Structure 1
Amino acid sequence: MKVITAYCNLRANEALVNGEVIARRDAGSEDSWFKQIYRQQELAYPKFYKMDVLSQAGYLASELMKRADPGIFADYADDEIALVFANASSSAETDRRFMHSYESGGSPSPSLFVYTLPNIVLGELAILNKWYGENMFAVLPKFTPGFYLDYSRILFASGSRALLGGWLEVTANGTDVFLFLVEEKVSGTEFNDENLLHLSQAGAVAAY
């Protein structure tokens, strides 16, 4: 049976792993919320500071899941974990910053240009974890559980043994990040529309 065995939510003011709050935003800090999480959790990956917000979101959520269960991905070969991510705004925040770098500085920023595609987060995670499985990033009007369910059937049928799914919507107006791991296990939360929607909303009321 395909089940959800772990998940992480990053909201405007809280970070949760498997439904448990593990970090809260300090409104008085000058650091961004993602930098606060990085420092509070004592993570060590200097490249984090060069990433765009989507890559930071994917990195943080996946690392927090690993912190909660260090062996979470240990049962799989490097090409057996598929990545399927989506959001509604693509790389709009980085695109705006890239345009501003050209308009204000007279030349575009190469460091920002690297992140003007939303699927760069997949590459960042693949490089960090040495994962070489199938991956895709879709742009959808809203979080759609059926998209992950439908695509997972194709991936599992073609050799993937685990799916790391993600919704990464990070804009100036809010933070809505949800990562989840789907595996073939005898126990866990059944991988279906209702449960995906329910878990995706964990912490939403408290955060807003």
Structure 2
Amino acid sequence: MSFITAYCHLTKDTCYVDGEIISKRDIDSEDAWFKQIYKEQEFVYPKFYKMDMLSQAGFLASELIKRAKPGIVTNYGDDEIALIFANKSASAATDQRFINSYEKNGSPSPSLFVYTLPNIVLGEIAILNKWYGENMFAVLPNFVPDFFLNYTQILLSGSSKAALCGWLEILGNEIDAFLFLVEKEASNALQFNHENLMKVAGQKESPIS
């Protein structure tokens, strides 16, 4: 048996952790939305500013989950946490920016080229945390709970003891980021099943008590 022990939603104007609003977008701010969260939460990771939006979303949500569940850092070995992410647009937003850089400047931008694969977000999170466990980034037509359920259970039946999973869809003005932590052992947490995953994915108010 496994459990959903923490989760984070990022939308175009609100950031939630375990159902609690922790940040709302200031439309009058000169800073981009993700930069506002970064500053408000007092994160210190200069590489954040070089990331594309997909990686920034993954960074912010994973760091907020770590704050909500610090045991993810202390309770597991560096190869015991799996990363399982998906979205529907891959790295399309950065791909277009990369194409534009070539058309406008006559040469492609190396700093953008780095992020023209969606699984780079996994690398950013793994490098930051020195996590060397299993990882997967899938491109799916929509959020598919059974993909996360089946793949996570396979990994948790092996050497993985926890999994950080996420749906990261960043394209244009669309921001739909949902990360959740699954652990084998927990108290006062939701059992990791289809019904509860849909509940957590679809509602911002916390069902965890």
Q: TM-score, normalised by structure 2?
A: 0.94
Alignment-derived partner of residue 28 in structure 2: 28
SS in structure 2 at match of 1:169:
strand
CA distance in 2, matches of 1:186, 1:154: 19
Alignment-derived partner of residue 39 in structure 2: 39
Across the aligned residues of Structure 1 and Structure 2, the Cα RMSD in angstroms comes to 1.2
Unaligned runs of 5+ in 1: none
Q: Residues 165 and 179 of structure 1 are in contact (CA less than 8 Å); yes or no, is this contact kept in structure 2?
A: yes
Alignment-derived partner of residue 120 in structure 1: 120
Q: Once the 2 structures are TM-superposed, how far is the Cα of residue 85 of structure 1 from its aligned partner? A: 0.1
CA distance in 2, matches of 1:8, 1:60: 9
CA distance in 1, matches of 2:22, 2:171: 22
Q: Deviations over 1:20-63 (max 9, x none)?
A: 00000001112111011001111100000000111101100011
Q: Once the 2 structures are TM-superposed, how far is the Cα of residue 82 of structure 1 from its aligned partner? A: 0.3
Alignment-derived partner of residue 204 in structure 2: 203
Alignment-derived partner of residue 162 in structure 1: 162
Q: Residues 14 and 203 of structure 1 are in contact (CA less than 8 Å); yes or no, is this contact kept in structure 2?
A: no
Whether 1:50 and 2:50 are equivalent positions in the alignment is yes
Q: Residues 164 and 181 of structure 1 are in contact (CA less than 8 Å); yes or no, is this contact kept in structure 2?
A: yes
Please tell me the residue identity of whatever aligns with 1:203. K
Please tell me the residue identity of whatever aligns with 1:73. V
Q: Deviations over 1:52-84 (max 9, x none)?
A: 111101100011112223333311100000000
Please tell me the residue identity of whatever aligns with 1:7. Y
CA distance in 2, matches of 1:161, 1:154: 11
* Aligned length, in residue pairs: 204
Q: Once the 2 structures are TM-superposed, how far is the Cα of residue 195 of structure 1 from its aligned partner? A: 1.2
In structure 2, relative to structure 1, the CA distance for the partners of 1:28 and 1:184 (3 Å cut) is same
Please tell me the residue identity of whatever aligns with 1:141. P
Unaligned runs of 5+ in 2: none
4+ residue stretches of structure 1 with deviation over 4 A?
A: none
Q: Once the 2 structures are TM-superposed, how far is the Cα of residue 186 of structure 1 from its aligned partner? A: 4.5
